[in-house]
A and B are shown apart, each in its own frame.
Chain A
């Protein structure tokens, strides 16, 4: 079952991936390397920022029993650490969701946006920004600035449930109907968003623009605590999907003959992607490209086996987003570049380069 399409044709990839058939040793190596990479990036990320606060200096102070200066403590524990945690969660959520969607739809272009989560979450956020002022005062004050994330999550969730209902008939979910209905729902959500943008005033428009570009700058422990369990649960659930997604690569009927509970598996896949992406989009805005680049990059190196692909995608997605965030917060410090711009600028050309080098071997 491992690597069916890639290994039976001659290509430059063959040299890259010398291991025919069984690439598990290579994948295990990759997992080790990616874990090490993520650890290094985490340490770097804690040490890098607009201010001169240095991690080693603070640790040294703590080690010597000295009091760490209040400002340094705040920057390390209330700004950089929640940001690090959120970056890891969001990066892992986007990358794994992308890999699951591509496996489920057997389509290399699939990403969470296709099941309407992206558009629905966007619509929720826009509703909150533009019409939030109309809410009863008590409700608005109760939610505070959690209003936009909560609305984004609700929007993504509602769209996904709706889509699932549309695509399910007599207990069977049609992946093709889901794909097409997803496009239709995304267009509808886009249209409603358009109406709201038309109604928005000047300052709301500017808020919308910045939300759309995505940022981890608003990371707080509160947001991490809300998004963390959701994303964590969803990612844990996807680990039960790996075997089924592998079987599904052969088609739905063969997968069912292999004893895979196809229907239940599809439901689990959609629900976990909606939860992970909805939570990620809600706390960080629209961050593109991670869900496409990370899974494809990994497939080129370790092959398409989802049992290896999914955990590695989580590791690489987290690392990539943290690196992008480090760039975003230092390149024009003390100001900050929206992270969506950074992921697109470094992700786009890099992905093209990989594609050009390996286009003969890429066949999902």
Chain B
């Protein structure tokens, strides 16, 4: 099959992209059979994008964070995305690996590279353009760029709409609690994925002064005075239901606890930054509006 790169590199970008799209469109069915028929998808958002593109039949396996849609969980699970074992991934005989940026460890990726399985890294990012980039890269890798463009445009439009609809009169102060194991609060700070989704949904992160996710002191939580406490809906050690939050010696003293404004949304929906992010924005913003006394 002719490679797409037949034009000189000096050709203007638009022409090259057009030619690439055209050649892929013409060769589409044939190419789809050539590469990417057994794809391992690593990362919840990446798997969601593959499903949203309608290319799920080409998936051979997924990682343990890929839990949406439910059908994806029927695929073989190659383990946690940051602790992959090379033989596990190779055992499903993949001819392509789509991996979110944080996949690892590096040793495993090196072995996979030596196995000459094409590895497509999908960069992380917590905003609209990042979602578009993820979709474009996955679609390009799977040889369906026109489907990708359609999906990206659709997600962009619905996201813009959701963000527009989310705009509040006055932003709500939201505290994102990642976990509260043993009473210690792990919360979202500046630059975290949780902060990004909170601000898209018309809220403002109640905590600043640290980056990413970190354990925070009780006093800092009181000082932050969140009006809403946001958590992930997930079982196990992340647990603690709303009653636990209200009974927590510090969280129970916040304005959010007084009005009972404790929200739970599925973690992958909330923090995945994939095709469902508009849905997450809408769900979160309407919950924020409802929580406002």
Contact = CB atoms under 8 A, between A and B. Distances in A.
Given A217-B108, A218-B107, A333-B91, A74 B214 contact: no
Interface in A193-247: 198-203, 206-207, 210, 215, 217-220
Most A-side CB within 10 Å, residue of B85, B211, B215: B85
Contacts of A199: 214
Contacts of A79: 86-87, 90, 111
Contacts of A333: 88, 91
B116 interface: yes
Given A144-B106, A199-B214, A51 B90 contact: yes
A49 B105 CA distance: 19
B92 A334 contact: yes
Interface in B27-79: 61, 64, 76-79
A198 B89 contact: no
Contact of A49 (B79, B91, B107, B213): B91
A75 to B, nearest CB: 6
Contact of B85 (A52, A198, A200, A329): A329
Contacts of B213: 201-202
B114 interface: yes
A78 interface: yes
Interface residues of B, number: 36
Interface string B82-105: 111111111111000000001001
Contacts of A200: 214
Contacts of B64: 335
Nearest to A148: B105
A147 B245 CA distance: 40
A50 B87 contact: yes
Interface string A288-306: 0000000000000000000
Nearest to B83: A210
A217 B85 contact: yes
B85 A336 contact: yes
A80 B87 contact: yes
Given A210-B83, A218-B105, A335 B77 contact: yes
Nearest to B178: A202
A334 B83 contact: no
Contact of A334 (B76, B108, B111, B212): B76
B164 interface: no
Nearest to B117: A71
A210 B82 contact: yes
**5 interchain residue pairs of minimum CB distance:** A335-B79, A51-B91, A334-B88, A50-B91, A202-B213
Interface of B: 61, 64, 76-80, 82-93, 102, 105-108, 110-111, 114-116, 178, 186, 211-215
Given A335-B80, A335-B85, 5 more contacts: A201-B211, A207-B82, A220-B111, A334-B76, A335-B88
